[in-house]
Structures are given as C-alpha cells and as structure tokens.
Structure 1
Amino acid sequence: MSRSVRPVQAGTPAVAAVLALALTLTACDGGVRGTPGGSGLGGVRDPYFPKAGNGGYDVGHYGLTLSYDPGNHRLTGEAVITARATEDLSAFDLDLKGLDVRDVTVEGRPARFDRAGQELTIRPHDDLDKGETFSTTVRYSGTPQTITDPDGSEEGWLRTADGALALGEPTGSMAWFPGNDHPSDKASYDVTVTVPKGLQAVSNGELRSERTTGNRTTFTWHTAEPMATYVATLAVGHYDITRPALKSGLPAYVAVDPTQTEESRTVLAKIPEIMEWAETNFGPYPFSSTGAIVDRHDDAGYALETQNRPVFPGAPDTWTLVHELVHQWYGDSVTPKTWQDMWLSEGFATYAEWLWEEDHDGDTVQQTFDAVYDGDLDYFDDAEKAKAIWAFPPAKPSGAAHVSDRPVYERGAMVLHKIRQKVGDDAFYDIVQGWAAAHRHGNANTADFTAYVEKMAPDKDFDAIWSDWLYGEGKPAHR
C-alpha cells in the first residue's frame, strides 16, 4: 500500500449485541446446541478493529456473480460463500455495508437474516455442527458505498470517470460483497462480472472467459491461491490491455486507463525485470499470475497491493511499483494476522524499495537508513514527516487511525536493516526468503516473526532490536 492509506474504524450499533443475545436465548430454548458466531473474530478480536471479521467459521471460497451499470451506479450481486463451521452454530455474521439483501439461503434452504450496521446476521434453518462445511448464498443489490476513513482517504466502491474501482484496505470489501472481512480469513475466489458492452471488468487472478451477449459483456476471473478480503479488487472501465512476457513464463495481465497509457509505458515495461529481481531476493513468486491496474490520478488517493495486480492512481514511479509488487510476497501471501501487524507487510515492501535502489546504482540501504534516521529532507518532503516516523513503534501503532502511518513503513524497514546488520547479508536473505516460504499463503504476527528470526540465528542476541526498534517508544540510539 502507498503511504497515504489510512484505516477506517468499523463500528456496530448496540442493537447487534441485543440481536446476538436474543439469538442465544432462542437457541437455548428446546435444547439447541449451537450458539451465534457473532461479530468480530470470536474469542480473538482484532485489537484495532474489534468488529472486523466474524467468529464461528472459516471461509474457503467466494463465488461472486455481479452486474454493474455505471450509468445508474447500480450493483446487483449473488455471493455463494463456502465455509467450515469452527464451532456449533445457530447463527453467524457476514460483513456487508449498505446494499439491500433480497434473500439468503444456507445449504439451499431459506434462512432468516437481520441487519445491524455492517453486520448481516444469518440464522440457518438447521444448526451447523462444528467441522461441517456449508454453503451460504446472499442475493443483494443497490448503490455501493464509498467508505471515508478518519483521515479523509476513501475505500470501498469508488466511482470513476467511466466506471468504478473497488479497494478494500482495511474494511472496504464489505461495500461490494458480503464476507468475513478480516485479513486472518483467506479464501479462493471466482468473480464473474457483467458490464455494458465496450467496458472491461478487471479483477484478481486469471481471466477465464470473456463473452458478449447483446449489449452486455461478462468477464470471469479465478483466484486459486488464498486471498484476504482487503486485497480483492474490481476495476470497471475502459482499459488498454497488455500481457508482458516474463522469462519464467508467468502470465501477466496489465490494464491501463487510456489516459495513462503513454505516461505508464516505460515504468510498466519494468515489471518483468522487477519480478525477476524480487524472486532472486525473496524467493519463488507465490501466485499464478502478476500484472497491474493503472487508473486515473484522481480515481484513488493511493496505490494498493491488490493480489496478483496492484492498483495505481496514475502512472507509478519505479519505487512504488517495486513496493506494491513485493507486497505480493509480504502482505498478500504472508498476510498479517491482525491490523496491528501491518509493519510485517509495509516494512518489508519499504525495505524492498531501499534494496532496489542499492542494487541499481543508487544509495546503499545504509545510506538510506541514515537519511531516514537523520531526517534528511532529500528523503522526506518536510521536517514534520521526518519527525513523524518516531511517533510510535512499528509493532504498536497508536490506534486504528494510524496502522498505516509512517512508523509502520520506515521504522518497519529499519527493523529489518538492524537484523541485516546483526546477522550479515547471507543469513539475512536466508531469513527473509525462509519467512516468505514458511508462511506462504498464510497469516503471521510479530511474535511469529521474532521467534522465526531467533530460530534462524540462535547465536545472536536480538533483544535490543526488539526492545528499541520494534517495540520501543521514541528515537533509538544507533551510533
């Protein structure tokens, strides 16, 4: 993600708690075993977004069938969600903000449902047993919402000059499909989108089919590898499509708004080179395709590491392209367990920018580290931004509105460099490549990372790095 992204604080009205209590009491009547799954992540709530995600189940697959008309801004959808119950359930929640739900079925039978804020609470006809795999179908429609974050940045469903752009970090996916909207629950996806003829619909994964019937065109996209909801995307509009060749044979799909084609041409031609460089440094690419989506400058206020093909507002510079592509390893494949762990995503991607510079006749990483530490205005735009990186430690953001602030980026990268200084280059690359491999397509938190580093370098003492750079308040001494 680009440095301008900020999270939105999710909230659920008190009526949700009343509804959950009512469902619990009803479930107890007559000896029913199940209990409501509830909003939030059950017993382990996200420390910054306690209502994000839902307890009681684990999603395995989303099948989304959508139709969108930019003329009237109307989205019609059917979401088929396949999940496994992690406890006996009499009810469970999905996250869905706005939009009108027409009906819900569970295992093909009509299910009762209620709405309270972002929570869609579903009560199936029959209780679900722990370990049972079940299918839920939600049919919905309406005008999808743009969600404004506390700092004014926007996510969710963004209208563009010729269509729309769906971005999800941290909670925007619930604006266009119902789901378990938390990075800890990853799933495969099939997304089928019908739009007016002449427009394209670009999503994650691989394009399986494109067919036109009358004045409508349908695009079908498949994402086989697990994907968090926040990196799911959909872009509707006019795009120039290219499929650059990579030496590895990896498919690439690049969609560029025609107004950005010339400006983007040179930098996007570096995708094969960047991908080859990234595999050398970080190990095998974890997905089955790559690419990019470039929309207009005012369509979004930030770039985002949407899986397989990051989204950029206008032509990116090389460093931003490197940043978002390396997120495919760190953030998309190895995904934070909670929003508190964002430095494991942004710190790695920022450090990749520094490494790229070092490997391409620019400043060494040590020189960049020193510039950041010293508040060099050749690196920062102004003195306030230079000061801001010491506002809090990367592993302890100061609230939900700050999980994407500068300390998560630069100080996160500085933690990695201190590790590199401690262990040397060979061991450092063993650590970062091994970390990507050990948690491929999974989730990890800061404690997992520090334990992994200590396991990989058992003869080194990392206590000062963890206490001063990762968790410590203020500006550590380093010289």
Structure 2
Amino acid sequence: MFLTPHRHAPRTRPRRTAAVLLATAVSVSLVAASAPVVPLGVGDRLFPHLGNPGYDVAAYDLSFTYPGTNDKPLRAVTTIDAWTTADLERVNLDFAHGTVRSVEVDGEPAKFAAAGEDLVITPGKPVPDGNRMRITVRHTSDPVPPRGREGGWVRTADGLAMANQADAAHLVFPGNDHPSDKAMFTIRVTAPEGHTVVAGGLPAGVHTSGGSTTWTYRTLHPMATELAQVSIGRSTVLHRSGPQGLPVRDVVPTRHRKALEPWLRKTPGQIAWMESRLGRYPFETYGLLVADATTGFELETQTLSLFERQLFTEPAHPKWYVESIMVHELAHQWFGDSVSPRTWSDLWLNEGHATWYEALYAEKQGGKSLRDRMKSAYGASDGWRAAGGPPAAPKAPEPGNKIGIFRHNVYDGAALVLYALRQEIGATAFESLQRAWVGRHRDGNASTADFVRLAGEITGRDLAAFFQDWLYGKKTPPMPGHPDWKAAAPSGTAAR
C-alpha cells in the first residue's frame, strides 16, 4: 500500500481460550444461531483476532452476482478447501459484513453463529486432524461499508473494486484473513450486460446467458486474502506484452482511456527495470486497475494493482513522481505479494523494499537523489519511531483505524534501514541479498528473522546487533559512512 502524499502522507495468532463474547457494531448478520462462541486468532501482535488456528486453506472459490448497482449487496458463495491441522469441533472463519444464509461442511449442513468478526461453524461431527475439509458458505457481500470501518469493497463511479489490506478481506468474503495462510483462488462474477469484470490471475472462461455474463479467473500462484482483486465496471481492458512475453492487461474507465494510455504503456519498461535487479517477474500477468474512486492510497493487489485515476490525470503531479509510484506498487509484486509477511509486524519488509525501489526509480527518472532522500529520512527517523514504533515493531493501530499501521516508520523509515544495510555490507552483497530473498521465499511467507538470517548467510557476518539496533531501537543508530548525519529530536506529533 502507498498512501499518496499529494493528499496526505502515509497514514499515514495461538488459539485463544478465554470465553469472551464480543458485542460489536460490525458483526455478521445471521439467519441461524448456536451456543455461545468466541473469536479466535493466530496470535498476530497487531491484529490479535485475525486469522484462525486449526486449518490451512488450500483454495478459495469465490462466486459473486452483481445486481447492477454498487449500493446493494451481492449474492455470494464462498467455497474453502482446507487441510485440518488439529481436531476441530468448531471452525472459525473471519467474516464481518454480510448475511450468512447457510453453511455446509463436506456437503452436510452445519450450524453457525457470530462472535466478534468471526463466523463460527459447528459441523455435524468433528473434523479430525490431517483431513481435507470443504466449507461452503452462502452469503451476501455488502459494498456499503460498515460504520467506522475502511476497506473491503471500494465503490467506484461505475462499479466496484477491492481494497482488502490489511484487515478487510473478511468484509467481502469469509476466510482465513491473515497473510500467513496463502491459497489458490478461483473468482467468478456474474454481472449484467454492459459491465466488464476482471480479477487477479488469468481468464478461465466467459459465459453469457439471459442478459448477464459470468467471468471466471484463476490464480497460478498462491495469494493472501488481502491481495485479492475484483473489478466490476463499464471498463476497457487494454492488452500489451511485457518482458519475455508476459501478458500485461490494464483495466481503465472507458471514457478516460485516451488520457491514461501514455502512462500505461510505461509498465513493460518498468517491469524490465525491476527484473534487471531482482530476476524474473514472479507471477502470470500484471497490470493496473485504474479506478474512478478516492481512496487516499494505491494498492499492490496481486497481478492487478489498484490506482486512483487522479494520480494520472492531476496535472500537478510531476512525471517522475507518478512513475515512481507505479514502480512502488510493481515492486510489491516481489515484496509483499510473492514473498508475503509472516506477521503484520514484518510489514517493513514489504513497504521498505517498495519504497527503496520507488526511490531508486525517482533518482533514475527524475534526478531525485537517493542519498538526499535518505539523509532527510534520517533527520526525521527518531520522530517516526516515537510516533509509530521501530520499523520491525510498529505500534498497533488505534481503534477504528486498522490501516493505521501504515506510517512513515514502515515506508521511508524502513527504506532507511535498507540504505544503512547497503552502507554496512556494500552494494554487491546487498544486491545479492535482494535477489536471494525473493528467490528463496517465492510464493511463500517470510519473517524479519528470516531476512536477518539470510543477510548473515550472504555476507558471512553476524549482523544480529546491526539489525537489532536498526529494526528495534527507539533511537536511530549512526549511519555507516555518514557520521555527520543527525536525527532531529522527536516533536511528539504522530505521523499522519
């Protein structure tokens, strides 16, 4: 995610056994009920109730029927194939904004109830450890956001898109909404004539009947729930080829196609530039979804990054700036999408690297010195750490502001850590580390500890103390090679 500074700067799970019933305004509307149940989580420090223990999702099959207007609920069916990792008498799914009509487990009706932002399912009989389990939930998916929440469906001028980061996919569909549980996705959407549907992955069929069309897409690589994307609108899909024949498709509002085309044709060259640094692009396709919506951010949804149209059509934005933001979201396809964080405290690995390549591209295209940007970041770093926590130990978001983890400390503050690392180990070792990181952990999850371990392996050095100070220290350490750089005293004002 990149929160665009032309509007505002970056806004900037073990099993729980306590019997706590949560009453919340954001809850699942149910047509059935069961005995008292509790929300669970996988122990994420920043989002304690996010994700669920006891199973590992292998695949999602999401079906939506769009009614033709973006202010009414979509009919939906979510099918989840998962492997159990414990004996389960109940199965918790994250789901917080829709009406559940029925639930089946392995084809048999199951009881269900709400607990906080969990949908708690009680099968007719327990599901033993090590078994394949299929859960089918028939529900609605409401595009009108619940009061006090952000994310999920984004209503555009002519339809819908998704923005599920960091804690909002379960506003759209039930699932295991934590990046540590990646899975394959099949997404099918039925929409009235005149609408175009595009989703992450590659097309897998189009069927028209009775004035409606059903569009199907499948991923070829596992994906975190927060990275799912669906575009429904009166759109034009533009196709071109990227490096080594990579299919590049962009989704744009038809009436803005001409104005957007000069920007979109830059993507293949940007992919080639990133490949020269990191190796081959990690997915089956890429492109931009340009939405007529005001979100305040751009978002690295897997294979189809979400952008506000105004980023490209607002004349005040310099060319180099717009292109560097395009590269920021492209870089996330390696850092955050292909290599996903193990916990949300590992967010700096996503945003720090995306900001790093954004800054390198701004230097290349706009002559904006990386060194000067990092020196400026160094001056502000103590303030960012005071406001948002150290890069690898960010403060939890405030209630009602779940995207509050996206602060300066995990953007330029984390890129500053990478600059210090390059100063410490040298450019050659640093570049080897980047390539090894995205290669070794491709299609998986990795943590800060994994990065520290790999850096030591690449350099043959014990870098534990270096990373401890830079990633977890309350104060910014001295910058290697720049002893004259000074950090300003924190002002006490939180990053916004």
Cα distance change, pair 111–48 in 1 and its aligned pair in 2 (3 A): same
Cα distance change, pair 70–39 in 1 and its aligned pair in 2 (3 A): farther
> Which one of 302, 309, 316 corresponds to residue 304 of structure 2?
309
The answer for the alignment partner of 2:54 in structure 1 is 56
How far off its partner does 1:260 sit?
3.6
How far off its partner does 1:297 sit?
4.4
How far off its partner does 1:259 sit?
4.4
Task: Report the number of matched residues.
Answer: 442
Distance in 2 separating the partners of 1:446 and 1:387 = 22
> Which one of 330, 336, 340 corresponds to residue 335 of structure 1?
340
Conservation of the 8 A alpha-carbon contact between 2:156 and 2:293: no
The answer for the alignment partner of 2:245 in structure 1 is 249
> Which one of 415, 418, 424 corresponds to residue 416 of structure 1?
418
Structure 1 gap segments, 5+ residues each: 18-25, 27-35, 376-384
Cα distance change, pair 37–14 in 1 and its aligned pair in 2 (3 A): closer
How far off its partner does 1:309 sit?
1.0
The answer for the alignment partner of 1:372 in structure 2 is 377
Distance in 2 separating the partners of 1:59 and 1:287 = 20
The answer for the alignment partner of 1:21 in structure 2 is none
Distance in 1 separating the partners of 2:141 and 2:438 = 40
The answer for the alignment partner of 1:14 in structure 2 is 20
Conservation of the 8 A alpha-carbon contact between 1:147 and 1:172: no
The answer for the alignment partner of 1:20 in structure 2 is none
Conservation of the 8 A alpha-carbon contact between 1:13 and 1:117: no
Distance in 2 separating the partners of 1:261 and 1:178 = 34
Conservation of the 8 A alpha-carbon contact between 2:385 and 2:391: no
Aligned to 1:437, the other structure's residue is in SS state helix
Distance in 2 separating the partners of 1:443 and 1:477 = 31
Conservation of the 8 A alpha-carbon contact between 2:46 and 2:344: yes
Cα distance change, pair 98–277 in 1 and its aligned pair in 2 (3 A): same
Q: Is 1:140 the equivalent of 2:142?
A: no
How far off its partner does 1:285 sit?
1.4
The answer for the alignment partner of 1:208 in structure 2 is 204
The answer for the alignment partner of 1:182 in structure 2 is 178
Higher mean displacement: 184-193 or 385-394: 385-394
Cα distance change, pair 210–386 in 1 and its aligned pair in 2 (3 A): farther
Task: Give TM-score, length-normalised by structure 1.
Answer: 0.87
Distance in 2 separating the partners of 1:13 and 1:408 = 35
The answer for the alignment partner of 1:225 in structure 2 is 221
How far off its partner does 1:345 sit?
0.3
> Which one of 434, 437, 440 corresponds to residue 435 of structure 1?
437
Aligned positions of 1:372-391 closer than 5 A:
372-374=377-379, 387-388=383-384, 391=387
Aligned to 2:151, the other structure's residue is in SS state strand
Conservation of the 8 A alpha-carbon contact between 1:46 and 1:339: yes
1:443 aligned partner, one-letter code: N
Higher mean displacement: 424-433 or 67-76: 67-76
1:180 aligned partner, one-letter code: N
2:352 aligned partner, one-letter code: G
Aligned positions of 1:18-417 closer than 5 A:
39-41=40-42, 45-71=43-69, 73-141=72-140, 143-146=142-145, 154-298=150-294, 300-314=295-309, 315-316=311-312, 317-360=322-365, 362-374=367-379, 387-388=383-384, 391=387, 392-401=389-398, 402-417=404-419
Distance in 2 separating the partners of 1:117 and 1:374 = 42
1:353 aligned partner, one-letter code: E
Conservation of the 8 A alpha-carbon contact between 1:37 and 1:57: no
Conservation of the 8 A alpha-carbon contact between 2:155 and 2:293: no
How far off its partner does 1:145 sit?
4.2
Alpha-carbon RMSD: 2.5
Cα distance change, pair 70–139 in 1 and its aligned pair in 2 (3 A): same
Cα distance change, pair 201–386 in 1 and its aligned pair in 2 (3 A): farther
How far off its partner does 1:396 sit?
1.2
Conservation of the 8 A alpha-carbon contact between 1:147 and 1:157: no
The answer for the alignment partner of 1:33 in structure 2 is none
How far off its partner does 1:426 sit?
1.6
How far off its partner does 1:123 sit?
1.1
Q: Is 1:467 the equivalent of 2:468?
A: yes
Aligned to 2:75, the other structure's residue is in SS state strand
The answer for the alignment partner of 1:455 in structure 2 is 457
Structure 2 gap segments, 5+ residues each: 5-9, 13-17, 24-34, 313-321, 399-403, 484-496
Conservation of the 8 A alpha-carbon contact between 2:384 and 2:413: no
How far off its partner does 1:161 sit?
2.0
Aligned to 1:184, the other structure's residue is in SS state coil
Cα distance change, pair 54–61 in 1 and its aligned pair in 2 (3 A): same
Distance in 2 separating the partners of 1:403 and 1:97 = 20
Q: C-alpha deviations, 1:25-69, integer Å up to 9, x for none?
A: x9xxxxxxxxx996201xxx0001011011100000001111012
Distance in 1 separating the partners of 2:105 and 2:66 = 25
Cα distance change, pair 148–427 in 1 and its aligned pair in 2 (3 A): farther
Q: C-alpha deviations, 1:47-105, integer Å up to 9, x for none?
A: 01011011100000001111012435221011110000001111111111121111111
How far off its partner does 1:425 sit?
1.7
Distance in 1 separating the partners of 2:199 and 2:146 = 20
Aligned to 2:371, the other structure's residue is in SS state helix
Conservation of the 8 A alpha-carbon contact between 1:70 and 1:162: no
Distance in 2 separating the partners of 1:107 and 1:470 = 45
Distance in 1 separating the partners of 2:39 and 2:128 = 16
Task: Give TM-score, length-normalised by structure 2.
Answer: 0.84
Distance in 2 separating the partners of 1:84 and 1:114 = 22
Cα distance change, pair 142–322 in 1 and its aligned pair in 2 (3 A): closer
How far off its partner does 1:306 sit?
0.2
Conservation of the 8 A alpha-carbon contact between 1:341 and 1:446: yes
